[in-house]
Amino acid sequence: MKSQLFTFCLLIFGSLVAFAQPQYEIHLSSKLDNDLYYSISRNGRPLINESRLGFSGNVNLSNFLQHKGTTERRVHQVWHQPWGENKEIVNDYFETVTKFRGENGVKMTIRWRTFNDGIAFRYECIVPQTDNIIINDELTEFNFAEDATSWSIPANFDSYEFLYRKMPLSQLDNANTPMTVRTDSGIYICIHEAALTDFPEMTLRQTQGTRFQAQLAPNPDGYKARIEGNRFVSPWRVILITDSAINLVNSNTILNLNEPCKIKGDLSWIRPMKYIGVWWGMHLGIESWTMDERHGATTANAIRYIDFAAANNIDAVLFEGWNEGWETWGGRQNFDFTKPYADFDMDSVVRYAKTKGVALISHHETGGNVYNYEKQLKKTYRWLADYGIHCVKTGYAGGIPDKHSHHEQFTVRHYRKVVLTAAKYHLMLDVHEPIKPTGIRRTYPNMMTREGVRGMEWNAWSEGNPPEHTEILPFTRMIAGPLDYTPGTFDILFEKTKDSPLHQKWNDNDKGNSRVHTTLCKQLANWVILYSPLQMASDMIEHYEGHPAFQFFRDYNPDCDWSRALQGEIGEYIVLVRRAGNDFFLGATTNEEARTLTVPLDFLTTGKTYEATIYADAPDAHWETNPIAYVISKQTVTAADVLTVTLAAGGGQAISFHEK
Ligand code: NOJ
Ligand code: CA
């Protein structure tokens, strides 16, 4: 077949002012031979070499295609969301739609969008005269033009709770997305997907050298996706391309590729919240989820937590282990989501919280038993709505029945069903052991936050997360969306609990010597950096009681309007600022290296004066040997000032700016 070449070229404007990024040129070309290919270059330098497109399955969606025309358009929109890192978002792209006709009347359209920070494409397929389309494999490739340094977690279809690996692309067998790479010439590329709602997740598999192919999470029967009907639209395949690490953090492209909000009417029940929870004690082993002598979620404890929240400007409280079913933990889970334990008096807890103006977050650990959860979903959500509860934390710690995995199409459909049902009953969601974020929060803003990360809990019962972990996350996992990492553990060395025989017993069973691998001030800074619209202070309230540094969380406003990563390098350090109303909150953290950074305050509103409260590592602080040492100081500042931010090894600094 004659080879046809289509080229689309776009000069990128607009990046100059917003991101201080020089004007550059991304060039996309597509080639149709027997098969279909694309390649990408930037300023004449190849980034992605000829890479295949298409699918294999019960219909031919990859070759014997004929080009049937191309249309182009430029789109510029400004849209708003009820919450987010930024409430106002500019969506500016150049779209190229190429249409193909294949065997037996198959219609395949590839929709390309070029943004100032990357390129995305998706497949839109119609297969006449069929009842279902089976996808055996996705053929999409990302054939990197040169070797580069990569940061990724392994491709695993059940979990994202891994440490990141930094290694040359050429040595990587597989990776989950977002996978971020830095070329020798200083270009940053991040591969991810957007708008994953009815498809298996995409991971990457190395097929040769620096060539990767999409590897979809399989159904137990071996196929990857099954579409009922004769058409489907794939999730977006996204290649972010920037010339600084922080511009990856500042990208809104994943959100822009999702559909506008589909929840109609009043959205006031959707609101960012700060929360505490009966939680950390269980992970340390000194409290329990089951109703025994260590039971955490008792009525008395609930009242204590509600009182603490009310006294400390905290919006909500989470209770885990409040419902029946924890006794069989580790087996096939059959939790009852409307049956509180006998020592948790739901009615009086709800009544008490109302009088104190504190919201409750209910907890639904499914143990992975999605059938059991779906069976109770509507009844449970109605029960919560009747109590006036608007937030649920779900969890899937355990195998999905019938050999299904957490990340395949079957389970993606389950997660979506939960989001839609929750929206109906005005419930916000915080999902643990989730499917990774792909921006669907734009469409369903009740999908607030999720785990999908090796979070704080790992510090309680394993060798923990090393200092650099949270300097990698903003440039990898967080490009996908918010994360419920649950920062804020103040008892860094578990000094207040480690002599408890219960904690010791727990540790003996696991790795022992557990602790948090940061300074105290880094915990504060992570409340700002590790963005979650439901932001938790993870420690037990006893450890905050009367602590001067807890003032930062009291003042912190999770409902930010605007955010900007100011400085940073992957796995090394990051400085990030968010504005909420008239206040600003800045977080800066570093890996194991102590460093001093110069931070101009030009993000502050010109002409205004602010009181900055600075929570800094003490001069002799060190994450390993002296993690708690901190100094709190106050300074009057304006946008013309420049701060010197000194960070201890494994340390951090948090600053709140309050308009005077
Ligand atoms: C794992 C979750 O990540 C954690 O937050 C929760 O406490 C436990 N599962 C129990 O549900
Ligand atoms: Ca987890």
pLDDT in tens, 53-104: 999 999 999 998 999 999 999 999 999 999 999 999 999 999 999 999 999 9
CB contact at 8 A, 53 and 135 = no
> Is any atom of ligand 1 closer than 6 Å to the C-beta of 457?
yes
pLDDT at 257 (0 to 100): 98
Ligand 1 within 6 A of CB of 503: no
**Does residue 25 or residue 633 have the better pLDDT?**
633
Q: Which of 107-121, 201-215, 502-516 is least confident?
A: 502-516
CB of 580 within 8 A of CB of 84? no
Q: How far apart are CA 571 and CA 617, in angstroms?
A: 20
- pLDDT, tens digit, 9 for 90 and up, residues 159-200: 999 999 999 999 999 999 999 999 999 999 999 999 999 999
Tokens, residue 27? 């060039």
Please give the span between the terminal C-alpha atoms of the chain, in angstroms, as a whole number: 71
Predicted confidence band at 27 (pLDDT cuts at 50, 70, 90)?
confident
Q: Could you identify the atom of ligand 1 that is nearest to the CA of residue 363? A: 11
Per residue in 429-465, pLDDT (tens digit) is 999 999 999 999 999 999 999 999 999 999 998 899 9
504 alpha carbon to ligand 2 midpoint, in Å?
22
Q: How many angstroms is it from 524 CA to the middle of ligand 2?
A: 21
SS3 category, 392: strand
- The per-residue pLDDT for 415 is 98
Mean pLDDT of 20-24: 39
> With DSSP H G I counted as helix, E B as strand and the rest as coil, what are the percentages for the chain, rounded to 5?
20, 35, 45
What digits encode the pLDDT tens for the residues 191-250? 999 999 999 999 999 999 999 999 999 999 999 999 999 999 999 999 999 999 999 999
Q: For residue 511, what pLDDT is reported?
A: 53
pLDDT band at 20 (very low <50, low <70, confident <90, very high): very low
Residue to probe by mutation, ligand 1, list 159, 320, 362, most atoms within 8 Å of CB = 320
Q: Are 633 and 654 in contact (CB under 8 A)?
A: no
β 610-617/652-659 pair status = antiparallel
Average pLDDT for residues 407-414, to the nearest whole number?
98
> 335 CA distance to ligand 1 centroid (A)?
14
Strand partners, 75: 93
Report the candidate in 270, 311, 642 with the shortest Cα–Cα distance to residue 442: 270
Instruction: Tell me, using a 6 A CB cutoff, whether residue 329 lines ligand 1.
Output: no
Q: In the predicted model, is pLDDT for residue 343 greater than 70?
A: yes
Give the angle 351-354-355 at the CA atoms, nearest 5°: 90
pLDDT band at 513 (very low <50, low <70, confident <90, very high): confident
Atom of ligand 1 at shortest range from CA of 279: 7
pLDDT score of 502: 74
3-state secondary structure of 169: helix
State the average pLDDT over residues 561-575.
98
Q: ∠425-430-433 over CA atoms, to 5°?
A: 125
Contacts of 536 (CB under 8 A, 6+ apart): 274, 275, 276, 277, 279, 318, 484, 486, 487, 488
* Token pair in block for residue 241: 């391309």
412 has pLDDT over 60: yes
> What pLDDT is attached to residue 508?
60
Tell which residue, 27, 237, 61, 244, has the closest CA to residue 142.
Answer: 237
SS3 label, residue 368: coil
pLDDT at 64: 87
Q: What is the pLDDT of residues 460-499, one digit of tens each?
A: 988 999 999 999 999 999 999 999 999 999 999 999 988 8
Separation between Cα atoms, residue 377 and residue 422, nearest integer Å: 9
Is residue 397 within 6 Å of ligand 1 at its C-beta?
A: yes
**Among residues of the chain, what percentage have pLDDT more than 70?**
95
Determine whether the shortest distance from the Cβ of 430 to ligand 1 is under 6 A: no
Stretch 320-337: mean pLDDT, rounded?
A: 90
- Most ligand 1 atoms within 8 A of CB, residue of 365, 453, 540 to mutate: 365
6 pLDDT band (50/70/90 cuts)?
Answer: low
Closest ligand 1 atom number to CA of residue 486:
5
How far, CA to CA in Å, does 92 sit from each of 74, 89, 113, 200, 485? 8, 10, 9, 28, 31
* Whether residue 25 lies in the annotated active site: no
Q: Quick one: pLDDT at residue 144?
A: 98
Task: Report percent pLDDT > 90 for the chain.
Answer: 89
Average pLDDT of the chain is 94
Q: How far, in Å, from the CA of 433 to the mean position of ligand 2?
A: 5
Kindly report the length of the chain.
Answer: 660
Nearest CA to ligand 1 atom 6: 395
The per-residue pLDDT for 324 is 95
Is the N-terminal amide bond of 178 cis, ω within 30° of 0? yes
User: Ligand 1 centre from 396 Cα, in Å?
Assistant: 8
Determine the Cα–Cα distance for residues 403 and 401; give it in Å rounded to an integer.
6
Helix (H) or strand (E) run with residue 116 in it: none
- Counting ligand 1 atoms within 8 A of each CB, the residue from 432, 456, 461, 506 with the most, and so the one to mutate, is 432
In which band, very low, low, confident or very high, does the pLDDT at 587 lie, cut at 50, 70 and 90? very high
